[in-house]
Amino acid sequence: MPRDSERRVGIEKICAYPGTLSLDLEDLARARDHDPADIRDNLLLRSRSLNPLWEDPVTMAVNAADPMLTDEDRASIELLVVATESSVDQGKPISTYAQRQLGIPHNCRNFEVKHACYSGTSALMVAMHWVLSGLNDGKKALVITTDQSRMHLHKPYEFTMGAGAVAMLVSANPRVLELEPEHNGFWTTEVSDTFRPTSRVETGNGETSLYCYLDALEGAYAHFLSKAGPVDFDGYFKKNLYHVPFGGITFQAHRTLLRQWKPLKKSEALEHFRRKTLPSLRYNMQMGATYSGSTFVALMGLVDACDDLAPGDRIGVFSYGSGSCGEFYSAVIGPDAREVVAAAGLSRLLEQRQPLNVDQYEALEQQRFELIDRGTYDVSLQAHGDLFARCYAGQHRLILRANKDHFRQYDWS
């Protein structure tokens, strides 16, 4: 149940930005001579998000946060943390762009954090403790996750790529999700499972990453139980969220924890998964990998999809980041979760994306790859037919106009 009002902390507002282009992954499977049923039934994926060249991790971050912030919200923010493994610069953080473009006051501590997909959770926990310190005179924190995949044409893991950003306002008024800071379990070990050694390369070993993910889950959950005490897994958590590099891995994660609860047949575990976790994948299935934001996309999917989820219900959340670190924590659904998530309109934004065929997708990825380290270029707004006119013109979205001797130039549509 919610804790003492003087110690409450969590997510007050949440909003996501899924980009404006999409690729049907069953079409991609057919183009790669891969069984579409494997993508649909095993990976639990339908489509992925893509960005036109005038979008990048900076624009996604800002376009996720801007719609949910009132002038009062902006004035209240004194901590801004951006989580990403897709930064556009080796030194300058995305958080500085976000502070300026979002109109957040200058008296704001800001920084960027990196720990693969775990970075979003690490940023949320920093914000949580900052609010709980009581030293900030009621001010709030803004946490933004923003990531996009590198190019992986014809690679086995091409189907699991994606893009997107999530913004969360963290405060002592947890209207969406109340965190329980006494009940966090974490686990870490150094491993090279997946990583990005250069600005263009994203590599690693998928099988190693799967085992590391499940090892981290077991280790973090055991640490959680050492703090929370023995729990009836089914009764304690109304629903369960997991890090979502692709939907199918969440069944393996859920089954791993079910084994610690009581023996179940695979069919029983699958039914439990369908009831407790599968609804959370509503938006992850359509966006693909969102890296640092995946558990928060899942949170939005869960709230939108589950009529049986009510204020005061407790959920379990597991976040994993390659390299590696895992964290398992509990949280309580806030009183206005359904209204706040509905107002974010993620379903509508997903429907508005313009689909690309496989040839168009490959050409776009190749263009982006060629521009990554180029210091000077202009960005045309004429690509993809009427996409700019339909999804940007007059809609106050941040876009990348040019890069001049490595100075990135942004503007509002």
* Residues with catalytic function: 85, 117, 243
pLDDT digits (tens, 9 = 90+) for 223-241: 999 999 999 999 999 999 9
pLDDT digits (tens, 9 = 90+) for 128-156: 999 999 999 899 999 999 999 999 999 98
Pair of tokens at residue 330:
């509990």
Q: Return the SS3 of 220.
A: helix
How far is it, in rounded angstroms, from Cα 303 to Cα 300? 5
| Residue 93 scores a pLDDT above 90 | yes
Environment class of 3 (CB within 10 Å of its CB; exposed 0-12, middle 13-18, buried 19+): middle
Note whether 294 and 256 are within 8 A (CB): no
* Distance of alpha carbon 385 from alpha carbon 382, whole angstroms: 7
Residue 299, phi then psi, degrees to nearest 5? -60, -45
pLDDT above 60: residue 176:
yes
Domains and CATH numbers, the chain: 5-177+355-412 (3.40.47.10), 181-344 (3.40.47.10)
Residue 13 bridge partners (DSSP): 169
Q: Which residue has the tokens 């990998």?
A: 289
What is the tens place of the pLDDT at every residue in 34-51? 999 999 999 999 999 999
